[in-house]
Chains A and B, each alone.
Chain A
Amino acid sequence: MGETLFLDLKDFALAVAAALLPGGLLASVSALISAGAVLVVAPVTMMFLTWVERKGVGRFQDRYGPNRVGPFGVLQPIADGIKMILKEDIIPDGSDRLLHNIMPVLAAAPVFLLFLVLPFGRGMVAADLNVGVLFFLCISSMQSPMIISAGLGARSKYSVLGSMRAVVQVLSYEIPMVIVIVAVVMTAGSMSTSEIVAAQVRDGWFVLTPWGAFGFIVFLIAATAEANRSPFDMSEAESELVAGFHTEYSGFKFALFQMAEFLSAFASAGLAATLFLGGWQGPGFLPSWAWFGAKALGVYFVLVWFRATLPRFRIDQLLALAWKFLFPLSLLVVVAAAAWYFMPLLPALVTNLVLLVGGYGLLSSWILSEFIRMNAPRAVPDAR
């Protein structure tokens, strides 16, 4: 139906460019169009995502959410943006001016690059790298030094506490995430995102296999933590640290941090859809890019659901969850994926279920007892 809509648009633009510009520049123009398309779509997506979040959380809490600013409140993100541009920019004494000015930009800019390797539809990857997944992981781990510098640079006690927590959290959840992706790469035989989707088109969505289901869950939890979203939003824990690492950032700089958070959450949702949910694959009544959008939005909605309903973990419990629960579980997923490939169906199914369900059961009861053990107060010297 509208399957090749965007590809046709790009061809049209290229044809226009070919008529106007010398032939040598055509490759650059093509790159420019692909890059530009992503950079235009991303902010619009971010506005839509904030609207989804506010309406969604509102509905979870049995209320309407914004509905006065434009029909159904769709103009609310635009009003927020206008307001934030007009807010005074305060750089507190003692904080590093250069860091304060640059960090928001450097935190938000890499997130756009994440969208370049996501396959939005059949043949619609902006940058079809053969190490696409690795590129995604590298760029998404660029976020953490930015958050740390932002918090430390602001030199307020809350910011410092918040950014230290963010460092450790992001590091710890990186490992299970990349290990689970190893399982996907194993089965697909390539690190290119379009290849992974092609493998799922051939063999069925990975989430429908036992190892894929658990892998998806591990990936979802780890990606939520990487994006600093609830229940892992320790670094901006509103109820304890006021606003964590972005306490001292006002106006548009705060908007940039928000953009970084929402877009990286959505990019992770898109990656989850690509790696486990079959990417753009779906029955023909919708074009492929609509399927991808629907799946990414569905995963994002689950993240909003987490935010609206789950309380937050404490930092040490969060780290225990990563190292004592997710890490061994992700290794089990890799073993299960290997078993799935090498064994015929029935023994593979049995092995997988035993490994994964049994492993999950053991690990979850262990981690809960660990959590309660960790609550015991430590003897502290009498400071008075």
Chain B
Amino acid sequence: MLPADPRAVIAIAAVLAVLAMAVPLVFAKLVSPRNPGREKQRPYECGVVEAGDSWKQVRIQYYMYALVFLVFDVEVLFLYPWAVAFKEAGLIGLAEMFVFIGLLVVAWAYALKHRALEWE
């Protein structure tokens, strides 16, 4: 029996998945009633009409979280190859990696101290 090439499987599955979601959606749009109206098209807000657009300027805090996430995500990127070669790397590799992790723990503590990870 031939084990399927994983990349082919993924490619075919990706295409099929999009089709499998899109085709029923198109079918639903054809079959469902269509009755637009002025009030129906207004954005929902608990039944009243309130002023103001919702595309306001986003607060900086969301970006702070994203920046810290980026730092640690890159760290994790380095952790994975080491994890695969963990047993061959031995105690020396372990020590080196702990130093690396330790540096990043210091970074985390710094972020905490300077309140980069607070919501406000």
Task: Please tell me whether chains A and B touch each other in their complex, using a CB distance cut-off of 8 A.
Answer: yes
Contact B12 A88 (CB under 8 A): no
Contacts of B79 in A (CB 8 A): 179, 182, 334
Partner of A89, one of B1, B8, B32: B32
Contact A182 B108 (CB under 8 A): no
Instruction: Check A108/B14 contact, CB under 8 A, given A85-B28, A85-B32, A323-B117.
Output: no
In terms of DSSP, what is the predominant structure of the interface of chain B? helix
Tell me the nearest residue of chain B to A7, going by C-beta. Answer: B1
Tell me the nearest residue of chain A to B55, going by C-beta. Answer: A155
Question: In whole angstroms, what is the CA distance A113 to B32 when docked?
Answer: 29
Segment of A70-78, A127-135, A212-220 engaged in the interface with chain B: A127-135
- Chain B nearest CB, measured from A113 CB (Å): 6
Tell me the nearest residue of chain A to B97, going by C-beta. Answer: A338
Tell me whether B9 is interfacial, beta carbon within 8 Å.
Answer: yes
Contacts of B35 in A (CB 8 A): 88
4 interchain residue pairs of minimum CB distance:
A316-B119, A127-B6, A35-B13, A156-B43
- Chain B nearest CB, measured from A297 CB (Å): 23
Question: In whole angstroms, what is the CA distance A186 to B117 when docked?
Answer: 29
Q: State which size class the interface on B falls in.
A: 35 or more
Question: In whole angstroms, what is the CA distance A128 to B6 when docked?
Answer: 6
Contact B16 A178 (CB under 8 A): no
In the complex, per-residue mask of A15-39: 1 if CB is within 8 Å of any chain B CB, else 0:
0000000000011101111111011
Size of the chain A interface, CB-CB below 8 angstroms: 93
Question: In whole angstroms, what is the CA distance A341 to B86 when docked?
Answer: 10
Question: In whole angstroms, what is the CA distance A135 to B10 when docked?
Answer: 10
Tell me whether B20 is interfacial, beta carbon within 8 Å.
Answer: yes
Q: Which residues of B contact A (CB under 8 A)?
A: 1-14, 16-18, 20-22, 24-25, 27-29, 31-36, 40-46, 50, 52-56, 58, 62, 65-66, 68-69, 72-73, 76, 79-80, 83-84, 86-87, 91, 94, 98, 101, 105, 108, 112, 117-120
Contact A248 B44 (CB under 8 A): yes
Instruction: Check A189/B87 contact, CB under 8 A, given A30-B4, A252-B28.
Output: yes
Contacts of A155 in B (CB 8 A): 43, 53-55
Question: In whole angstroms, what is the CA distance A269 to B74 when docked?
Answer: 26
Contacts of B29 in A (CB 8 A): 89, 252
Q: Which residues of A contact B (CB under 8 A)?
A: 7, 10-11, 14, 26-28, 30-36, 38-39, 43, 84-95, 101, 104-106, 108-110, 112-113, 116, 126-129, 134-135, 152, 154-160, 164, 167-168, 171-172, 174-175, 178-179, 182-183, 185-187, 189-191, 242, 247-248, 251-253, 256, 315-316, 319-320, 323-324, 327-328, 331, 334-335, 338, 341-342, 374, 378
Question: In whole angstroms, what is the CA distance A101 to B26 when docked?
Answer: 10
Contact A190 B44 (CB under 8 A): no
Instruction: Check A34/B9 contact, CB under 8 A, given A11-B1, A88-B34, A128-B3.
Output: yes
Tell me the nearest residue of chain B to A334, going by C-beta. Answer: B101
Contact B18 A105 (CB under 8 A): yes
Question: In whole angstroms, what is the CA distance A338 to B98 when docked?
Answer: 10
- Chain B nearest CB, measured from A48 CB (Å): 18
Partner of B66, one of A134, A171, A334: A171
Tell me the nearest residue of chain B to A15, going by C-beta. Answer: B1
Contact B84 A108 (CB under 8 A): no
Tell me the nearest residue of chain A to B27, going by C-beta. Answer: A85
Contacts of B105 in A (CB 8 A): 328, 331
Contact B55 A113 (CB under 8 A): no
